[in-house]
Structure 1
Amino acid sequence: MTGIYVDWGGHKLKLMWMKDLMPQRELITSVHAFCFYEGQLLLVNLNDRGWDFPGGHIEDGETVEACVIREVMEEAYVTGDWTLLGAIEVNHEENPLWNPSSPYPKVGYQVFYRMDITELLPFDAGFESSERMLIRPEEAAHYHKGWQKGFDEIMDAALGVKKRRTGLCDNELFNRRLGL
């Protein structure tokens, strides 16, 4: 992916998707998961952001993998098998509003995983999400208000994981179940 520029609350940032990258732990600002269940993508309605992918910040002493498992359970009430997809580099080098005392590094990373849901638990809304839903992957941009071009590449990577494992992508598996 070539870098794309976004405006996050007046901050001009350059984002770049890097497939299969696991950055140094201290440069990771958040961890997220594209979760799939029977060919559908799971989204959660986060109280402060609207429809989004489960994810969040790593807690002190927590590994990146433990963070994604915890965040997905807290926000979506699911468990599953996960696969690293890569990371988005979040670059503030051209951001005149970036402050060295910011909790975020000048160049940081958001790590993304694919999770294949093995257990869909009763939804309790006990943390920061009010509901969850399963949608067709191609509908994600319609629900996710912060959808940007880079997410298309992450979605392609997430759908490609299933293809590497089974020889079929989620949409092909879904269509086969429907007899199409």
Structure 2
Amino acid sequence: MTTTYVNWGESKVKLTWHANQTLPSRNLITSVHGYCFHEEKLMLVNLNQRGWDIPGGHIEQDETPEECFKREAMEEGYIEGRCYPLGYIIVDHSENTKWDESSPYPEIGYQVFYRMDIEQLHPFEAKFESFQRVFIKTDEITNYYQGWHEFHQEILNCALTNKKRMV
């Protein structure tokens, strides 16, 4: 378990990573993300507003977390595959002086993370919010992902470790 503080806009937010395959309550999950692998390489997508990132996004009303991740992976990376839950980040706004009851996110919310082993690689069409995808060795991630830090690395390490457990 790792905890860090980040500045999101003008807000200070506490993030805590929990490697745990038991997911939090669905109504508190705000977004779902994942590390996708094809032939031992990690897929990144170049998103229109954020640059290189892993697939993910906000969960829709009638989706399960896994359905959300599969949808986001298809929309952003044009891939399909088998998913395994890795854990979640607790997004804690309790020390955020800018948060109030009218904020779009709960005071304590969760971002769920998966590992996907890609089984179908579709032609990349760039119809949604990404305009490029790339498959890289995991040690090349800092060449692409701006702002990569130890917190992200811990989650990636969890994805890599889980692969060894699934084989």
| TM-score of the pair, normalised by structure 2 | 0.95
Structure 1 partner of 2:150: 149
Which deviates more, 1-10 or 72-81? 1-10
Aligned to 1:174: none
Residue pair 2:91, 2:111 contacting (<8 A) in 1 also: yes
Matched residue SS, 1:4: strand
User: Distance between the aligned counterparts of 1:140 and 1:16, measured in 2?
Assistant: 22
1:173 is aligned to none
Report 1:23-172 matches (<5 A): 23-166=24-167
Give, in whole Å, the separation in 2 of the partners of 1:154 and 1:9: 23
- In 2, distance between residues paired with 1:151 and 1:68? 18
State how many pairs are aligned: 166
- The DSSP-based 3-state class of the residue aligned with 1:23 is coil
More strand by share: 2
Which shows bigger deviation, 135-144 or 26-35? 135-144
The question of whether the paired residues in 1 share the 8 Å contact of 2:24 and 2:110 is answered with yes
Secondary structure at 1:3's aligned position in 2? strand
d(CA) in 2 for partners of 1:158, 1:141? 17
2:100 & 2:53 partners in 1: Cα distance? 27
Distance in structure 2 (CA, Å) of the matches to 1:59 and 1:146: 27
- Indicate the RMSD between aligned Cα atoms, in angstroms: 1.1
Distance 2:69 2:89 in 1: 15
Structure 1 distance, partners of 2:54, 2:12, is 23
1:2 aligns with 2:2: yes
Residues 39-48 or 1-10, more deviating: 1-10
Rounded Cα–Cα distance in structure 1 between residues aligned with 2:156 and 2:11: 25
Gaps of 5+ in 2: none
Q: How big is the shift at 1:149? A: 2.0
Rounded to whole Å, the distance in 2 between the matches of 1:49 and 1:132 is: 13
Q: Kindly indicate whether the alpha-carbon contact (under 8 Å) linking 2:2 and 2:151 is maintained by their aligned counterparts in 1.
A: no
Cα distance in 1, alignment partners of residues 126 and 30 from structure 2: 24
Distance in 2 (CA, whole Å) between partners of 1:140 and 1:155 is 10
SS of equivalent residue, structure 1 residue 98: coil
Question: Identity across aligned pairs (percent)?
Answer: 55
CA distance in 2, matches of 1:133, 1:63: 27
Distance in 2 separating the partners of 1:149 and 1:26: 28
Structure 2 counterpart of 1:41, which letter? L
The normalised TM-score by structure 1 is: 0.89
Measure, in 2, the Cα distance between the counterparts of 1:141 and 1:86: 22
**Following TM superposition, by how much is the alpha carbon of 1:63 offset from its aligned partner in structure 2, in angstroms?**
1.2
